[in-house]
């Protein structure tokens, strides 16, 4: 088996772009390499290309109506948590920050008839959901088109479903969202690490499991992140490893960081 660091160096060389994609995929998959560290300080512009359409969403609607199951959820127990916190007749506001699949909305809203489901994403995805809302008369679906509009409401439960690490201005977004959150906030499927000095809030990594497309994301310093939540009067309810996406973090071993895990962290407002 090739040395992990040799593979990383090979992948990052300019000549690597001439290697057939399937060879790169085989090398990475065989060594379970999904992420490699970079020297970037911020995420690139247009980091996460939109792969979505009206047809894709309407196919999800048809599939959900027939099977009553959803295509994907980064935290499958979310509905169970909501049922523990809210009765089916309770009025509450749910914010899905970065939501991009209509079947997730259908499944959640089916169980809580008085819930208002707020969603915010990139403009193109927001427009798709506006189209769906109008076409299918989803009255309790409210699309938030920008951060200034986000401030017009308050939210009982906020869900960052594997989205926070893909937001370049995540600190600013947290500074807006946390004061607007009255009860609970859940961050699912997010990469965290620990370090001795906590001088770095984050590390930018390159994500390779969608080759030839490449995405970038933050790995976050866990202590610094928790301090942000504590400063807004949130306390941990649980902090656990998300086992849905096993990967090899050996390529990070020279960065003087430890305990890299894909985590789900749930907070309650104190």
The predicted pLDDT at position 15 comes to 39
Mean pLDDT, the chain, whole residue set = 87
220 near 190, Cβ under 8 Å?
yes
The predicted pLDDT at position 246 comes to 73
Residue 134 has pLDDT above 80, yes or no: yes
The predicted pLDDT at position 253 comes to 83
How many helices and strands (H and E) does the chain possess?
Answer: 9, 10
This model's pTM is above 0.85: yes
Query: What's the CA gap between 212 and 104, in Å, rounded?
Result: 28
**DSSP structure class, residue 122:** -
Label residue 50 by pLDDT band (50, 70, 90): low
Which of 120-124, 159-163, 196-200, 233-237 has the weakest average pLDDT? 196-200
Residue 18 has pLDDT above 50, yes or no: no
Provide, rounded to the nearest whole percent, the portion of the chain with pLDDT above 90. 69
Tell me the β-bridge partners of 155: 181
The predicted pLDDT at position 1 comes to 42
The predicted pLDDT at position 16 comes to 46
Of 156, 171, 224, 217, which Cα lies nearest the Cα of 190? 217
**Half-sphere exposure (CA, 13 Å, Cβ side) for 215?**
16
Kindly report, residue by residue over 200-224, the tens digit of the pLDDT: 899 999 988 776 777 899 999 999 9
Residue 38 has pLDDT above 60, yes or no: yes
Label residue 189 by pLDDT band (50, 70, 90): very high
Class for domain 51-269, per CATH? alpha beta
Which range of 42-51, 197-206, 226-235 scores highest in mean pLDDT? It is 226-235
Query: What's the CA gap between 52 and 141, in Å, rounded?
Result: 18
């Amino acid at each position: 088996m090739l040395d992990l660091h040799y593979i990383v160096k090979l992948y990052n060389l300019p000549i690597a772009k001439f290697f057939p994609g399937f060879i790169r995929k085989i090398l990475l998959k065989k060594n379970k390499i999904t992420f490699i560290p970079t020297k970037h300080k911020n995420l690139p512009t247009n980091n996460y290309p939109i792969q979505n359409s009206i047809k894709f969403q309407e196919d999800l609607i048809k599939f959900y109506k027939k099977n009553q199951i959803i295509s994907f959820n980064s935290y499958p127990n979310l509905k169970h948590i909501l049922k523990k916190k809210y009765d089916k007749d309770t009025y509450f506001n749910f914010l899905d920050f970065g939501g991009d699949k209509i079947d997730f909305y259908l499944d959640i809203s089916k169980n809580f008839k008085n819930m208002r489901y707020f969603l915010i994403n990139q403009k193109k995805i927001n427009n798709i959901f506006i189209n769906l809302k109008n076409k299918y008369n989803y009255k309790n679906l409210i699309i938030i088109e920008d951060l200034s509009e986000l401030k017009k409401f308050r939210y009982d439960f906020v869900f960052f479903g594997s989205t926070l690490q893909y937001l370049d201005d995540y600190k600013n977004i947290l500074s807006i969202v946390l004061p607007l959150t009255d009860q609970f906030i859940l961050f699912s499927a997010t990469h965290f690490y620990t370090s001795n000095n906590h001088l770095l809030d984050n590390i930018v990594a390159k994500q390779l499991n969608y080759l030839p497309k490449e995405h970038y994301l933050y790995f976050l310093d866990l202590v610094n992140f928790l301090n942000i939540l504590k400063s807004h009067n949130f306390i941990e309810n649980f902090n656990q490893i998300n086992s849905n996406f096993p990967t090899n973090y050996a390529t990070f071993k020279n960065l003087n960081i430890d305990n890299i895990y894909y985590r789900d962290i749930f907070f309650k407002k104190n």
